Amino acid sequence: MNQNILPEERALLTGKKAAFLSLGCKVNSYETEVMQQLFEEAGAEVVDFSEKADIYLVNTCTVTNMADRKSRQMLHKAKKNNPDGIVVAAGCYVQASAEEVKKDYAVDVLVGNNQKNEIVHLVAAYMEGKKQEAELVDVRKNKEYEPLRLKTVTEKTRAYIKIQDGCNQFCTYCIIPFARGRIRSRKEEDVLEEVRDLVAQGYQEIVLTGIHLSSYGFEQYSEKEQFALEIPGQRVPLLELILKLDKIPGLARIRLGSLEPRIITEDFVKTLTTTKVCPHFHLSLQSGCDATLQRMNRRYTTEEYKNKCDLIRLYFEHPAITTDVIAGFPGETEEEFAETLAFVQQVAFAQMHIFKYSRRHGTKADKMPNQVPEEIKTRRSDALLEVEARLRREYVDYFVNKEEKVLLEEQITEDGVTYMTGHNERYVRFAIRTEENLANQMVTGCAVNQYVKDCMLLNEKA
């Protein structure tokens, strides 16, 4: 359960204007929504982040140097909006760079990870003059999943559900295990109860998210089993949870967040075909070169990765396989980058997220020799982005003249024409021309054949 709000805290916060901003991943977005609801329960009025507020909360990100900079910028923007307002810095940037954040003139209250359910207590204490320099726990030693739960979500058709936190993998480029700590999983019944409540409110689609989703439930197993993401003779806990979610009446779709390729086994994929899980799989790649993958400590080869994609395609028709790729990892030669460029085209991803390598203090990659110059990272990133645009268009073209089941989400107007847009199971965006608001309705045979030009343009803008 979330924190119990005390009467004196409610008295302090009732009528106060509070603004929230989430940076980074969907886990952060989920946590920000929970914190926002806690303030609403305490009597605060939620306003847009651009408005003058009494309290500003920025749920920060630290995955790259750019994320750190964006976090600082937004904290400073909040203080500029209202110099007398209380600015709360929460999340990963705070956890990873506490000493730096403490010195920031714009920040009044620091809240690290695994303390967000205490947010109202901490802000109320600050308002009463009981200022604490920081409220941080050592997430590296914390083994308990932080009890956060959404009662409603801001999206009208799709609900993101956080079920896992932390990561034990320690990829050499990644700061997240230091910011989020070791793997911790939410209790199965708590997940099921939240989903049941959201479905009862009318939500037809859920997305399971976590910092390392594939590790859900693995803290109970040996270190060898945790790293292998495999339990001999047993189904992984994530699959067991999916099978139980699948039985909830009224739930039409289950989407999965980012997965490790190693969790993809024949039993895993074959079992998913019997469920409401959408054929949309985000498998982190990071590099298409074995030597680079080894330096990254990714624990699979390109051959193994390709086999996982082939397995998905064996059981699902035209699945959307998406991924992340890092350009310019330390030591990446022109030959190694050429291998990556060729490999992503061989796999033919539906979509790729391209990142230039960002040095993170405290990671092994930060100390590696042969750091790649920024201009070379940019050139390689641009080359990957060019390939990504072509692959994405080729994937979307497949759906021309095909009838698809689309969950309509929002009404938009483009060049004077009104549409309802939504996504099919493979997360391709579709549009139909209509003046009627059909949000949260499932439509079969969305007119992509009739309005294919409009739909393609919408996907290019997405």
Q: What confidence score (pLDDT) does residue 367 get?
A: 97
pTM listed for this prediction: 0.91
Residue 462 has pLDDT above 70, yes or no: no
Question: Which of 27-31, 52-56, 405-409, 430-434 shows the lowest mean pLDDT across its residues?
Answer: 430-434
Report yes or no on 134 lying in a domain: no
Q: What confidence score (pLDDT) does residue 448 get?
A: 43
Question: Which of 229-238, 247-256, 353-362 shows the lowest mean pLDDT across its residues?
Answer: 229-238
Domain check: are 34 and 178 in the same one? Answer: no
Average pLDDT over residues 232-246: 95
Report yes or no on 366 lying in a domain: yes
Place 399 in a pLDDT band, splitting at 50, 70 and 90: confident
Q: What confidence score (pLDDT) does residue 1 get?
A: 41
Q: Provide the domain limits for residue 427.
A: 405-461
Number of folded domains that form the chain? 3
Residue 451 has pLDDT above 80, yes or no: no
d(CA 381, CA 377): 6
Residue 345 has pLDDT above 60, yes or no: yes
CATH, residue 373:
3.80.30.20
CATH, residue 22:
3.40.50.2300
Residue 49 has pLDDT above 90, yes or no: yes
Residue 31 has pLDDT above 70, yes or no: yes
Domain check: are 289 and 390 in the same one? Answer: yes
Last residue of a domain, one of 372, 397, 422: 397
Average pLDDT over residues 272-301: 98
Place 155 in a pLDDT band, splitting at 50, 70 and 90: confident
Domain check: are 420 and 337 in the same one? Answer: no
Report yes or no on 133 lying in a domain: no
Q: What confidence score (pLDDT) does residue 388 get?
A: 97
Domain check: are 392 and 336 in the same one? Answer: yes
Domain check: are 391 and 441 in the same one? Answer: no
Average pLDDT over residues 214-219: 96
Residue 135 has pLDDT above 60, yes or no: no
Report yes or no on 142 lying in a domain: no
Q: What confidence score (pLDDT) does residue 400 get?
A: 79
Q: What confidence score (pLDDT) does residue 140 get?
A: 64
Question: Which of 68-77, 132-141, 177-186 shows the lowest mean pLDDT across its residues?
Answer: 132-141
Q: What confidence score (pLDDT) does residue 161 get?
A: 96
Q: What confidence score (pLDDT) does residue 131 get?
A: 66
Domain check: are 80 and 227 in the same one? Answer: no
Last residue of a domain, one of 127, 147, 171: 127
Domain check: are 368 and 325 in the same one? Answer: yes
Last residue of a domain, one of 397, 416, 433: 397
Residue 410 has pLDDT above 50, yes or no: yes
Domain check: are 261 and 368 in the same one? Answer: yes
Q: What confidence score (pLDDT) does residue 105 get?
A: 95
Partners of 324 in the β-ladder: 353
Domain check: are 201 and 263 in the same one? Answer: yes
Share of the chain above pLDDT 70, in %: 93
Report yes or no on 327 lying in a domain: yes
Place 85 in a pLDDT band, splitting at 50, 70 and 90: very high
Report yes or no on 2 lying in a domain: no
Q: What confidence score (pLDDT) does residue 194 get?
A: 96
| Per-residue pLDDT reduced to its tens digit, 167-214 | 999 999 999 999 999 999 999 999 999 999 999 999 999 999 999 999
Domain check: are 48 and 167 in the same one? Answer: no
Residue 143 has pLDDT above 60, yes or no: yes
Of the two residues 71 and 401, the one the predictor is more confident about is 71
Report yes or no on 185 lying in a domain: yes
Place 139 in a pLDDT band, splitting at 50, 70 and 90: low
Domain check: are 72 and 213 in the same one? Answer: no
Domain check: are 302 and 370 in the same one? Answer: yes
Report yes or no on 18 lying in a domain: yes
Of the two residues 102 and 400, the one the predictor is more confident about is 102
Average pLDDT over residues 218-236: 90
Q: What confidence score (pLDDT) does residue 450 get?
A: 40
Per-chain mean pLDDT for the chain: 91
